[in-house]
Amino acid sequence: MAESPVVVVFDPLPHFSYREERAILEAGGARLVVPATEAEARAAIADADVVVVTGRRRFTAAEVATLSRCVGVQTSSVGSDYVDPSLHDRGIPLRTAAGYCTEEVSDHAVALLLAAWRRIPMLDRAGRRAGWAGGAALTAPLRRLRGRTVGIVGLGRIGRMVAAKARGLGLEAVGHDPFLTAGAVAPTPLVDLDALLAAADAVVLCAPATAESRHLLDARRLALTRPGVILVNVARGGLVDEAALVAALDSGQVAVAALDVRELEPPTDGDPLADRPDTILTPHAAASSVEAVAELHEWTARGALDLLRAAGRL
């Protein structure tokens, strides 16, 4: 009898037991391997039929080169920017778990937007002080949300959901996405990125990380925004030039930056954004919920089985 195909988790998440993935894979006729160390993982992927990559570590060209019988890589996330492009050159299919956390990330984006717009964290700190001595937090001009414009960069599943939720709050939503047509994202109007930045009272980043989108918001583009703009990023930290963002916050061009993702994760000591009163920082937590994690376990395992079936390994 032929041996069962092997699915190897390259970079296991320490808080996952992989019990759910193991049960689904075994029921489908495959075997799951969860290496205990990085060295074990590098050895195991060489003979893996499918490799699961969570994004905890980058799946480099060196690792791709060791694959001898792999018929696909499945990510445990929406993104795939941590998988080296040489995988494509090898002709090995790549699947993501796109869609598993659309509700959560779009909720988080809107929550950050509201928290920044109403200065909730800043007012919370002021409200904890004797005499409500909050300084700038109490004197910052708070503006009505309804009728304002939010610009959404990236109108995939998450971006379109952010637009729908923003409209539900009475905001006008416009979007930019070079990969989609107006019909695909209706009723959100598609505009040029520079035009979006000039028109938006708040900008929400939902775009994927690619070579072209690195530092999409640099000093030049941040200067195009409306003075006092709100910036929300729930996509990838590398979309924003953080040095330019610091300067834009210092000048008041950006009033509040609400970021779930950072260029360096986790940030190191001395992070220039950490102790500012005009930033809201969450630790790459937008995708988290009990329901989303349950979906992720299932989607990861079923995606691996689909890759095996497509290659005739099952």
Question: Domain map of the chain by residue range?
Answer: 6-100+291-310, 102-281
284 part of the active site: yes
Please give the chain's pLDDT, 314 residues, in tens: 468 999 999 999 998 999 999 999 999 999 999 999 999 999 999 999 999 999 899 999 999 999 999 999 999 988 888 899 999 999 999 999 888 899 999 999 999 999 999 999 988 888 887 677 656 666 677 889 999 999 999 999 999 999 999 999 999 999 999 999 999 999 999 999 999 999 999 999 999 988 889 999 999 999 999 999 999 999 999 999 999 999 999 999 999 999 999 999 999 999 999 999 999 999 999 999 999 999 999 999 999 999 999 999 99
Measured CA to CA, the distance from residue 126 to residue 119 in angstroms comes to 11
> Which pLDDT value is given to residue 210?
86
> How many residues make up the chain in this entry?
314
| Residue among 284, 295, 302, 309 flagged as catalytic | 284
If DSSP codes are grouped into helix, strand and coil, which group holds residue 204?
strand
> Which pLDDT value is given to residue 128?
82
236 part of the active site: yes
Measured CA to CA, the distance from residue 244 to residue 205 in angstroms comes to 16
Q: How many CB atoms lie within 10 A of CB 273?
A: 18
* Phi, psi values for residue 297, rounded to 5°: -55, -50
Task: Check: CB of residue 148 under 8 Å from CB of residue 116.
Answer: no
The architecture that CATH gives domain 102-281 is 3-Layer(aba) Sandwich (3.40)
297 part of the active site: no
> Which pLDDT value is given to residue 289?
95
> Which pLDDT value is given to residue 139?
62
* Phi, psi values for residue 257, rounded to 5°: -110, 120
- Domains 6-100+291-310 and 102-281 are alike in CATH topology: yes
> Which pLDDT value is given to residue 61?
96
Q: How far is CA 65 from the centre of its chain?
A: 27
Return the CATH fold of 6-100+291-310.
Answer: Rossmann fold (3.40.50)
| Residue among 95, 236, 262, 313 flagged as catalytic | 236
> Which pLDDT value is given to residue 94?
96
Q: Could you tell me which of 107, 220, 79 has the C-alpha nearest to residue 165?
A: 107
> Which pLDDT value is given to residue 3?
86
* Phi, psi values for residue 6, rounded to 5°: -110, 130
